[in-house]
Amino acid sequence: LIPDLAWYDWILINTSAGKDSQTMLDYVVSLARRAGVLDRVVAVHADLGRVEWQGVRALAERQATHYGVRFIAVSRPQGDLLDHVEQHGKWPGYGTRWCTSDHKRGQVYRVLTQLADEAREGGRLDVTGYRKNGNPIYRPARILNCMGLRAQESPKRAKQDPFAYDEEASTATTRHVDEWLPIHDWTTEEVWTAIRASGVPHHPAYDMGMPRLSCCFCIYASKSALVRAAQLNPSLAKEYARVEVSIGHRFKKELSMAEIIDAAVAESVDEIEDWAA
Q: Is 18 in the site for ligand SF4 (CB under 6 A)?
A: no
Using the rule CB under 6 A, give the single segment among 59-67, 135-143, 188-196, 212-220 that binds ligand SF4: 212-220
Using the rule CB under 6 A, give the single segment among 37-45, 109-117, 211-219, 261-269 that binds ligand SF4: 211-219
176 vs 252 by CB, closer to ligand SF4 = 252
* Cβ at position 221, least distance to ligand SF4 in Å: 7
Q: Write b or e for each residue in 218-237: b if 16 or more Cβ atoms lie within 10 A of its Cβ, otherwise e.
A: bbbbbbbbbbbbbbbbeebb
The answer to whether residues 51 and 236 touch, using CB atoms and an 8 Å cutoff, is yes
* Cβ at position 217, least distance to ligand SF4 in Å: 7
> Which residue in the set 215, 229, 232, 261 belongs to the binding site for ligand SF4 (CB under 6 A)?
215
* Cβ at position 51, least distance to ligand SF4 in Å: 7
Q: Is 214 in the site for ligand SF4 (CB under 6 A)?
A: yes
Q: How many residues bind ligand SF4 (CB under 6 A)?
A: 10
Q: From CA 48, how far away is CA 81, in angstroms rounded? A: 6
218 vs 260 by CB, closer to ligand SF4 = 218
* Cβ at position 173, least distance to ligand SF4 in Å: 32
Q: Is 218 in the site for ligand SF4 (CB under 6 A)?
A: yes
User: With helix as H, strand as E and coil as C, how does 225-244 read?
Assistant: HHHHHHHHCHHHHHHHHHHH
245 exposed, middle or buried (CB, 10 Å; 0-12, 13-18, 19+)? exposed
User: With helix as H, strand as E and coil as C, how does 189-255 read?
Assistant: HHHHHHHHHHCCCCCHHHHHCCCCCCECCCCCCCHHHHHHHHHHCHHHHHHHHHHHHHHCCCCECCE
The residue count of the chain comes to 277
Q: Is 64 in the site for ligand SF4 (CB under 6 A)?
A: no
> Which residue in the set 54, 75, 100, 152 belongs to the binding site for ligand SF4 (CB under 6 A)?
100
* Cβ at position 104, least distance to ligand SF4 in Å: 7
Using the rule CB under 6 A, give the single segment among 7-15, 18-26, 91-99, 111-119 that binds ligand SF4: 91-99
* Cβ at position 57, least distance to ligand SF4 in Å: 14
Determine how many CB atoms are found less than 10 A away from the CB of residue 8: 24
Q: Is 99 in the site for ligand SF4 (CB under 6 A)?
A: yes
Longest dimension (CA), the chain: 64
Instruction: Tell me which residue of 224, 76, 207, 212 sits closest to 148, measured CA to CA.
Output: 212
Binding site for ligand SF4 (CB under 6 A): 92, 97, 99-100, 214-215, 218-220, 277
